[in-house]
Chain A
Amino acid sequence: MSSGTQVGKDGLPGAPGSLVNDLAQWVADVGDRTMEWLVALGSLSIFAGRMFRWLLSKRPQRETILWNFYHIGVLSLPVVAMTGMFIGMVLAVQSYAQFKMLNLETRLGAVINMSVVRELGPVLAATMLAGRVGSAMAAELGTMRVTEQIDALTVMGADPIHYLVVPRFLACLFLIPALTLMADFMGVMGGYFYSIHILNIDAYYYLQNSAEYVGLFDLGAGTAKTLFFGASIAVIACHHGFHCEPGAEGVGRAATYAFVHSFVAILLLDLVLGIILEGIYGMLWSTAPRLV
């Protein structure tokens, strides 16, 4: 840099409003944002580490487990089932015209069921869980943070992560596969009902196509992915709740970010796990019939 270069506000080079100054400001902003993300990621990792340490070292109390299993799992069933059923039906509606043109409408069974079991069932169940449970967990824990209930737990010698986070994590982890199976079942039933009874597709071939292309691996792979979705929803939502800023605005922001960040994590994990599972499938059954 030449000695004639001016130093603007904030000690950045260039006259205010100049291109150099704007560029330097932009780089500084990007740097700040990157640092914020790294700090947040570090904080999340430490939080998850502490949670796993408690998970492995001390069993949670029975009543906290039952309460969370009921609220996270049982109460989510209706909404997940309904979503699954409509998705199956919507897939039938959307795909029918194209498949009919090619006289391949009986292939709808394979397309609908494969989509539901491998992708839509797991991702929708996880999204519903993030929306219904993740936001609620962040808001509840955030309120507890703001009203000093988490501090109260600590001073009474009960670790808040062990008492509040571990049961929620276990409930999300163990119940999301069950919710996914429910979404899958309802999606398959919804698709079948619409295809056979509304679109008058031949039931025999519809089912035969399904059986040919959709196997236990697809069901298992789709369900296995949800373990990762459930774990990430619980950790992200509880982390947002624990680090909630004061006031109603802080609680609202925690709930919103819990959903947004969980959703992004679900999609990212879905992509990565999808690639890995596809590779495993290719290795195990390289000659099996494929839809594409």
Chain B
Amino acid sequence: MAVSTAEATTTSAEGDSPLLRIEGLHVRFGRQTVLRDIHLNIRRGETVAILGESGCGKTVLLKTIVGLQRPTRGRVLFDGRNLLELPAAELARQRTRFGFVFQQAALFDSMTIGENIAFPLRQHTAMSREQIAEVVLRRLAEVGLPESVLTKKPGELSGGMRKRVGLARALALEPEVMLYDEPTTGLDPIMSDVINELMLRTRAAHSVTGIIVTHDMRTAVKVADRVVMLYPLSRLEVGEGQILYDGPPRAIEEAADIRVIQFVRGEAGERLMEMRRLQNAQGEAGHG
């Protein structure tokens, strides 16, 4: 795994204790269990891609990490502390150490792009209006957007531009951890590559720890230095762990588990057989 000198220094200074420690995490919605007994450690400076098909609980895991979703059991320790046990003011302060890029960008509709990027700065800093404007312009330039978008509303921008504004907003407070929820979903291949490049640059410029939830193999291979693959609980055998693969992205294609290989190659496999069985059953019921 390629680790820069700066990162290596930080890691040794902090010891080997992970920045994020996920212990025995269970998340259940009503009767449906989405995450079961997840254990995961993420080190400072590492970029981890969480892969998996739709419905396997990737986004739920991301939201649980930042405390948007309360786990049914287990805990997430950030820098040794359980966020959900902190008092409200301290929790709000700790959350500013995270930057979250949402799947649909989640920009505030009622605000202009400039106000969106300035929002975290206005909330958490005592910066003057001019200083905020300066930071906003810097972040905007960082994600490659022109100044002319500042006065526009989110609805006037394309999906790719909105994602980039979301990235600029997440970077406003210079967080230590960047969380990306499906950063390239719904974008054309060119724009997907732009976003991948921006994630790499963000890592290089700010030395952030990154967690990328995606089902895009190209993103995982290009941006991440570690890949964790989750599998839907409903398809697992009793007693099987939900994490099917945890290792470097290049080695995923040689994984021993056929389900990992099928995902990497985009092969439907048994899903097609299930579909045919269902169609046959429906056909027989219709004739009967």
Chain A residues with CB under 8 Å of chain B are 143-144, 147-149, 151-152, 154-159
Minimum Cβ distance to chain B for residue A271 (Å)? 37
* Interface contact B120-A151, CB-CB below 8 Å: no
Q: Interface 1/0s, chain B 56-72, versus A by CB < 8 A?
A: 00000001001110000
14 CB-based A-B contacts, threshold 8 Å:
A143-B109, A144-B109, A149-B106, A149-B107, A149-B109, A151-B68, A152-B106, A154-B68, A154-B95, A155-B68, A156-B95, A156-B96, A156-B119, A159-B92
Instruction: Write out the residue numbers on chain B whose beta carbons fall within 8 Å of the beta carbon of A151.
Output: 63, 68, 100, 102, 106
Q: A149-B107, A157-B120, A157-B123 are in contact. List 5 more A-B contacts (CB 8 A).
A: A155-B95, A156-B96, A156-B119, A156-B123, A159-B88
The docked-state distance in angstroms from the alpha carbon of A156 to that of B169 is 9
Minimum Cβ distance to chain B for residue A104 (Å)? 54
Task: Judge if B104 is at the interface, Cβ distance under 8 Å.
Answer: yes
* Interface contact A148-B119, CB-CB below 8 Å: no
* Interface contact A152-B100, CB-CB below 8 Å: yes
Task: Judge if B124 is at the interface, Cβ distance under 8 Å.
Answer: yes
The docked-state distance in angstroms from the alpha carbon of A156 to that of B95 is 6
Most A CB within 10 A of own CB, among B68, B106, B109: B106
Q: Interface 1/0s, chain B 83-99, versus A by CB < 8 A?
A: 00000100011011010
* Interface contact B100-A155, CB-CB below 8 Å: yes
The docked-state distance in angstroms from the alpha carbon of A155 to that of B68 is 8
A149-B68 in contact given A156-B119, A157-B96, A158-B92 (Cβ < 8 Å): no
Task: Judge if B103 is at the interface, Cβ distance under 8 Å.
Answer: yes
Instruction: Write out the residue numbers on chain A whose beta carbons fall within 8 Å of the beta carbon of B95.
Output: 154-157
Nearest-neighbor residue (CB-CB) of A143 within chain B: B109
Instruction: Write out the residue numbers on chain A whose beta carbons fall within 8 Å of the beta carbon of B98.
Output: 155
Query: Top 7 nearest A-B pairs by Cβ distance?
Result: A157-B92, A152-B106, A148-B106, A155-B100, A157-B95, A156-B120, A157-B96
Instruction: Write out the residue numbers on chain B whose beta carbons fall within 8 Å of the beta carbon of A158.
Output: 92, 119, 123
* Interface contact B103-A148, CB-CB below 8 Å: yes
The docked-state distance in angstroms from the alpha carbon of A155 to that of B169 is 12
The docked-state distance in angstroms from the alpha carbon of A151 to that of B68 is 7
Q: Interface 1/0s, chain B 108-144, versus A by CB < 8 A?
A: 1100000000011001100000000000000000000
Instruction: Write out the residue numbers on chain A whose beta carbons fall within 8 Å of the beta carbon of B68.
Output: 151, 154-155
Nearest-neighbor residue (CB-CB) of A155 within chain B: B100
The docked-state distance in angstroms from the alpha carbon of A158 to that of B121 is 11
Minimum Cβ distance to chain B for residue A149 (Å)? 5
The docked-state distance in angstroms from the alpha carbon of A148 to that of B107 is 9
Instruction: Write out the residue numbers on chain B whose beta carbons fall within 8 Å of the beta carbon of A157.
Output: 92-93, 95-96, 120, 123-124
The docked-state distance in angstroms from the alpha carbon of A144 to that of B63 is 17
Minimum Cβ distance to chain A for residue B105 (Å)? 9
Minimum Cβ distance to chain B for residue A58 (Å)? 9
Instruction: Write out the residue numbers on chain B whose beta carbons fall within 8 Å of the beta carbon of A154.
Output: 67-68, 95
* Interface contact B108-A149, CB-CB below 8 Å: yes
Instruction: Write out the residue numbers on chain A whose beta carbons fall within 8 Å of the beta carbon of B106.
Output: 147-149, 151-152
Minimum Cβ distance to chain B for residue A147 (Å)? 6
The docked-state distance in angstroms from the alpha carbon of A149 to that of B169 is 13
The docked-state distance in angstroms from the alpha carbon of A148 to that of B154 is 14
Minimum Cβ distance to chain A for residue B95 (Å)? 5
A152-B102 in contact given A157-B95, A159-B88, A159-B92 (Cβ < 8 Å): yes
The docked-state distance in angstroms from the alpha carbon of A151 to that of B93 is 16
* Interface contact B123-A147, CB-CB below 8 Å: no
Minimum Cβ distance to chain A for residue B27 (Å)? 15
Instruction: Write out the residue numbers on chain A whose beta carbons fall within 8 Å of the beta carbon of B109.
Output: 143-144, 147, 149
Segment 173-197 of B: residues with Cβ below 8 Å from A: none
The docked-state distance in angstroms from the alpha carbon of A143 to that of B96 is 24
Minimum Cβ distance to chain B for residue A180 (Å)? 28
Minimum Cβ distance to chain B for residue A23 (Å)? 27
The docked-state distance in angstroms from the alpha carbon of A154 to that of B68 is 8
Minimum Cβ distance to chain B for residue A36 (Å)? 14
The docked-state distance in angstroms from the alpha carbon of A11 to that of B106 is 46
Minimum Cβ distance to chain B for residue A50 (Å)? 10
The docked-state distance in angstroms from the alpha carbon of A155 to that of B109 is 17
Minimum Cβ distance to chain B for residue A139 (Å)? 12
The docked-state distance in angstroms from the alpha carbon of A149 to that of B105 is 9
* Interface contact A155-B66, CB-CB below 8 Å: yes
* Interface contact A148-B92, CB-CB below 8 Å: no
The docked-state distance in angstroms from the alpha carbon of A149 to that of B104 is 10
The docked-state distance in angstroms from the alpha carbon of A238 to that of B70 is 22
Instruction: Write out the residue numbers on chain B whose beta carbons fall within 8 Å of the beta carbon of A143.
Output: 109
Nearest-neighbor residue (CB-CB) of A63 within chain B: B122
Instruction: Write out the residue numbers on chain B whose beta carbons fall within 8 Å of the beta carbon of A155.
Output: 66, 68, 95, 98, 100
Nearest-neighbor residue (CB-CB) of B124 within chain A: A157
Minimum Cβ distance to chain A for residue B176 (Å)? 14
Nearest-neighbor residue (CB-CB) of A54 within chain B: B88
* Interface contact B120-A148, CB-CB below 8 Å: no
Instruction: Write out the residue numbers on chain A whose beta carbons fall within 8 Å of the beta carbon of B169.
Output: 156
Q: Which of B63, B92, B104, B124 contacts A147 (CB 8 A)?
A: B104
Minimum Cβ distance to chain B for residue A136 (Å)? 12
Most A CB within 10 A of own CB, among B88, B104, B169: B88
Nearest-neighbor residue (CB-CB) of B98 within chain A: A155
The docked-state distance in angstroms from the alpha carbon of A267 to that of B68 is 37
The docked-state distance in angstroms from the alpha carbon of A144 to that of B108 is 8
